[in-house]
Amino acid sequence: MKELIIGNHVSFKKDTQLLGSVNEELSYGGNTFMFYTGAPQNTARCEINDIITEEAINLMKQSGIDLENVVVHAPYIINPANTANLEFSTNFLKQEIDRVEKLGVKRLVLHPGSHVNLGVDVAIKNIIFVLNECITPSTKVDICLETMAGKGSEVGRTFEELKEIIDGVKYNDKVKVCLDTCHLNDAGYDIANFDKILDEFDKVIGIDKIGCVHINDSKNTLGSHKDRHENIGIGTIGFDNLLNVIYNKRLEDVPKILETPYVGETDDSKEKNYPPYKFEIEMIRDKKFNEHLLEDIRSFYK
Ligand SMILES: [Zn+2]
């Protein structure tokens, strides 16, 4: 059996850049990671420092992290579905692709966006326009469109919508999909039948188009269209169903990324201080749910 490719969302700071991200991941014990090149909710971005990048890549080689499996997430403020933002989205995405290529990263996750009140058809045309402006034959990164929960007017809540976008893009060998288990659940795809979901995905889009999987439990029920992530094994999807995704044979070459919430001092504390990833990765590798997950996280970081 191949080695599990697992990691989580880490930070990317102006001063330490990719090296800081690698060091953070090593502290959790993962062998891949995902980051935003700046804050997810804005588009302010720093210059990529090639010396730091080289140092980070050397450290990755020593530590068994394959750059091919590393993922960047585009900021969710860009909304390629919305006509009013087309120029801004296009320009930002072009710059983001350049930054990601400069870092040597091969996978860029993008939310298809929300149509606001334009309707899905116009939104899909807009997304196709933006992707066609940004993807050229020399693009080296795969754009992974994320499956969405269907909150508000989000586009990409069904495989059929994603397929329509992919079909409209000229160089669509560079367009892939990022499955998110929380979003799938909230959109109405039951993770308890994950093999059936994969069969359906294969029929509509093609299994080789899966470029990344976000592993999250959900705070809400099947089909709730909410999108609120929960720690692994604590939400409505449950540990065993998530393990079936993580260890699925058909996805063994695809990086699995945790985007689960930080844990607070108490169950209802407002401030979420402690990263859950070290303990979540541990129980995933052990294939056994840790009944004391939250307590263990709190006492480790306190
Ligand atoms: Zn996600």
Structural domains of the chain, with CATH = 6-301 (3.20.20.150)
- Nearest Cα to Cα of residue 147 among 177, 175, 123, 171: 177
Ligand 1 centroid – CA 153 distance (Å): 17
Query: Which residue has tokens 């976000």?
Result: 214
Ligand 1 centroid – CA 85 distance (Å): 22
CB 257 within 8 A of CB 8: yes
Ligand 1 centroid – CA 172 distance (Å): 21
Hey, which residues does 180 pair with through a beta bridge? 214
Residues near 182 by Cβ (< 8 Å), separated by ≥ 6?
A: 149, 214, 216, 217, 218, 227, 228, 229, 230, 235, 237
pTM: 0.96
Ligand 1 centroid – CA 159 distance (Å): 15
Ligand 1 centroid – CA 258 distance (Å): 8
Query: Which residue has tokens 């070459």?
Result: 253
Ligand 1 centroid – CA 169 distance (Å): 22
Query: Would you write out the chain's pLDDT as a tens digit for each of its 302 residues?
Result: 789 999 999 999 999 999 999 999 999 999 999 999 988 888 888 999 999 999 999 999 999 999 999 999 998 888 999 988 899 999 999 999 999 999 999 999 999 999 998 999 999 999 999 999 999 999 999 999 999 999 999 999 999 999 999 999 999 999 999 999 999 999 999 999 999 999 999 999 999 999 999 999 999 999 999 999 999 999 999 999 999 999 999 999 999 999 999 999 988 888 889 999 999 999 999 999 999 999 999 999 98
Sequential DSSP letters for 80-115: TT-GGGHHHHHHHHHHHHHHHHHHT--EEEE---B-
